[in-house]
Chain A
Amino acid sequence: MKITLNGEMRDLTGPTVQDALVQAGLGAAKVATALNGAFLPAAARAETTLKDGDALEVVAPMQGG
């Protein structure tokens, strides 16, 4: 299915958010996620199923002021 991951169109099989992160090479990274603009807690990733057209944001700690 087609998922927008961090603004890029990706073809991932899923079906869960956790699966998609693994498929995108982010399975082991310490990240936070938002699905379609709403916060998705880490504990909910394995039981949240993606659907075609979903937008997933995956963020990590970065420099800030």
Chain B
Amino acid sequence: MPVFYGTAVESPLMLGTAQYPSPAIMAQAFRASRAGIATVSLRREGGAGQDFHNLIKDLGVPVLPNTAGCHSVREAVTTAQMARELFETPWIKLEVIRDDDTLCPDVIALVEAARLLSDDGFQVFPYCTEDLSVCGRLLDAGCQVLMPWGAPIGSGRGLNNPYGLRSLRAHFPDVPLVVDAGIGLPSHAAQAMELGYDAVLLNTAVAKAGDPVAMARAMALAIEAGQLARRAGAIEPRDMAAPSTPLFGMAVLG
């Protein structure tokens, strides 16, 4: 099970709470998948916030608030401070976005915000790219977990750069790594775990599926399969065939 800032989490599946057909289906998806963490956000109070807060508490899993939509260090830091008070957790999924078409992290602002928040006692989960230098800077800033994207948020494209993600895993063998965003299929989630990632964070692939509860379960099973495979040790691919059935003892028939 993944350990984030000293806290062991029950499952490597981190599940978002947005875009479900109904609150009841969201709750069922959490139960069906036994997701270990629920991501949430802060928005202007329009009357729905109090019911939602109760719904989240009933899920019985740790909450990871995000700074989704923030485009500047100041916005992200203020949002994190409000989230800490409201959700009573030092955890923050730090998102600082520059480009709205790709929702690509603004890695310069991200590092700056991560430093300010870490210095202020936050435990930062940065939504970042798989760039080794940026990830190194985030660790220098005080982050003890990294959350590189698989593909742009909501795109469902899977792991765009498996090579980069594998390099990151090899480069930081002891840092908890999470693939955050871009997952569309259970096979994508399994691939992340096969690469040795500690967890997968997804939302849209489950919430917008035809049957979100079934897809949540499928994701959980795929993550478990990928994790088992990683521990089991996979064979190296090769170009030539290699017979699996022994040749020794084969009858001579022709």
A interface list, Cβ under 8 A from B: 6-7, 26, 29-34, 37-39, 41-42, 57-65
Contact = CB atoms under 8 A, between A and B. Distances in A.
Interface of B: 16-20, 26, 39-45, 48-50, 52-53, 56, 65-66, 68, 74-75, 77-78, 81-83, 85-87, 153, 181, 203-204
A47 B48 CA distance: 27
Given A30-B50, A41-B85, A59 B203 contact: no
A57 B85 CA distance: 14
B80 to A, nearest CB: 9
A41 B83 CA distance: 11
B42 A65 contact: no
Given A7-B44, A34-B78, A41-B85, A62 B39 contact: no
A30 B83 CA distance: 12
Contacts of B18: 63-65
Given A7-B44, A38-B78, A42-B85, A64 B49 contact: no
Contact of B45 (A7, A60, A64): A60
Contacts of A33: 82
Contacts of A41: 85
Given A34-B82, A64-B16, A58 B44 contact: yes
Contacts, number: 101
B42 to A, nearest CB: 4
A33 B79 CA distance: 9
Contacts of B40: 61-64
A32 B65 CA distance: 13
Given A41-B85, A59-B82, A59-B86, A64 B17 contact: yes
Contacts of A34: 78, 82
Nearest to B65: A64
A32 B44 contact: no
A60 B42 contact: yes
B153 A60 contact: no
B152 to A, nearest CB: 12
A29 B82 CA distance: 14
Contact of A65 (B48, B52, B81, B153): B153
